[in-house]
Amino acid sequence: GRTVVCTIHQPSIDIFEAFDELMLMKRGGELIYAGPVGHHSCEVIQYFQAIPGVPRIKDNYNPSTWMLEVTSTSMEVQLGADFAQLYRESSMCKDKDMVVKRLSVPVPGTTDLHFATRFPQKFREQFKACLWKQCLSYWRTPSYNLVRFVFITLSCIFFGALFWQQGNINHINDQQSLFTILGCMYGITLFAGINNCQSVMPFISMERSVVYRERFAGMYSPWAYSFAQVAMEIPYVLMQVVLFMLIAYPMIGYAWTAAKFFWFMYTMFCTLLCFVYMGMVVVSFTPNIQFASVLSSMFYTLQNLMSGFIVPAPVSEPI
């Protein structure tokens, strides 16, 4: 009881004959057939075989394949015919035009269709559907999620070995020791953050065409998809931070008090989320992934200058 419109190209016989109506266009988008398929594709075959010079279809041959062969550009040149012009002059085209004109006139007493909302579902349902879609999409993309988990694990081991017990308060006795541990915090945060930002951009860019298509179809609003995308990153970034706290935190020798542990975890979590969301914003505002990568590099430079490590904040002199 539903009208289904889709594009097909050389389907099997069973799939092709499952359709009731066919609109066939040649290269350039000109219509060369618009009518019923018929039982065993008899209507389509009968129409094209009625054109002088078109070879007859062989027994048990796929009608869709035959149809594309006999309407090719080389066949038009061979026959000296224009299939688009032949269709415009056919009775089938004239009958279609009459049907269109008849159906274009509204029945007296009817009113225009009106929908109270643009989308068939409320925002909550749209968000739930988009969130479920993102769960499946993230789970089925190990090239994005698994790679960043492996990256953060190796980074934690590397930084933990490089700054072994440098964060222990007993080892911070002079200015150089303090700068060393501050550089450790700065380096691992920036290292992991930039990787998150760079890895999320291709993933978001790949889904852009799908989002445009489904939004124009009225499936969900951009806000529902955006909030679902933002929310879906939270558990994955949290797992990255947990890996850091289990591997790098004890190796570097930070203090094992609940307040300092969870405060450091919270800060790291928010920082990595900011990098991920920055990558999403940049790729959403740019036309392609190449331009997004160049623009994000500029943001990295600005962040480095304003992070307070390369250019420290001024220290006020005591009175």
Strands 31-36 and 21-25: antiparallel
- Which is nearest to 283 in space by CA: 199, 201, 197? 201
**What number is the average pLDDT over the span 297-302?**
77
244: confidence class by pLDDT, cuts 50, 70, 90: confident
pLDDT interval class at 223 (50, 70, 90):
confident
Average pLDDT on 89-94 reads 89
- Provide the pLDDT for residue 308: 66
Two tokens at 47?
């129409």
Other beta carbons within 10 Å of 40: 11
- The four Cα atoms 99, 31, 41, 5 give a dihedral, to 10 degrees, of -70
Question: What is the distance of C-alpha 6 from the center of its chain?
Answer: 21
Average pLDDT over residues 225-248: 88
Whether the pLDDT of residue 318 is over 60: the answer is no
Residue type, 189: T
pTM of the model: 0.61
Number of other CB atoms surrounding residue 106 within 10 Å: 9
- Split at pLDDT 50, 70, 90, the class of 311 is low
> How confident is residue 310, by pLDDT bands cut at 50, 70 and 90?
low
Q: How far is CA 173 from CA 18, 168, 178, 180, 252, in A?
A: 81, 10, 8, 11, 16
Going by C-alpha positions, the residue among 14, 56, 50 that lies closest to residue 35 is 50
Q: What distance in Å separates the CA atoms of residue 145 and residue 237, rounded to the nearest whole number?
A: 10
How many Å apart are CA 130 and CA 220, to the nearest integer?
8
Better-scored residue on pLDDT, 127 or 186: 127
pLDDT tens track for 103-126:
888 888 888 777 777 777 788 888
The pLDDT tens digits for 179-188 are: 777 777 777 8
Q: Which residues, at least 6 apart from 9, have a Cβ–Cβ distance to it below 8 Å? A: none
For the residues 62-69, what does the mean pLDDT come to? 88
CA-CA distance, 162 to 129, in Å (whole number)? 45
Q: What is the pLDDT of residues 156-169, one digit of tens each?
A: 888 788 778 776 77
Check residue 8 and give its pLDDT. 81
Q: What is the pLDDT of residue 28?
A: 83
DSSP class of residue 26 equals -
The pLDDT of residue 116: 74
Judge residue 160's burial from the number of C-beta atoms within 10 Å of its C-beta, 0-12 exposed, 13-18 middle, 19 or more buried: buried
Residue type, 139: W
Check residue 316 and give its pLDDT. Answer: 61
Helices (H), the chain: 13-16, 42-49, 63-70, 73-79, 83-88, 91-104, 123-139, 142-162, 175-206, 208-216, 222-252, 258-285, 289-306
Look at residue 211 and tell me whether its pLDDT is greater than 60: yes
Average pLDDT, the chain: 83
| pLDDT for the residue numbered 309 | 65
β-sheet bridge partners, residue 33: 24
Say if residue 237 is exposed, middle or buried (CB neighbours under 10 Å; 0-12, 13-18, 19+): buried
Residue 256 has pLDDT above 60, yes or no: yes
Nearest CA to 189 out of 171, 217, 163 is that of: 163
Q: Where is pLDDT greater, at 305 or 31?
A: 31
- pLDDT at position 315: 62
At 238 the pLDDT is 92
Query: Is pLDDT of 80 > 70?
Result: yes
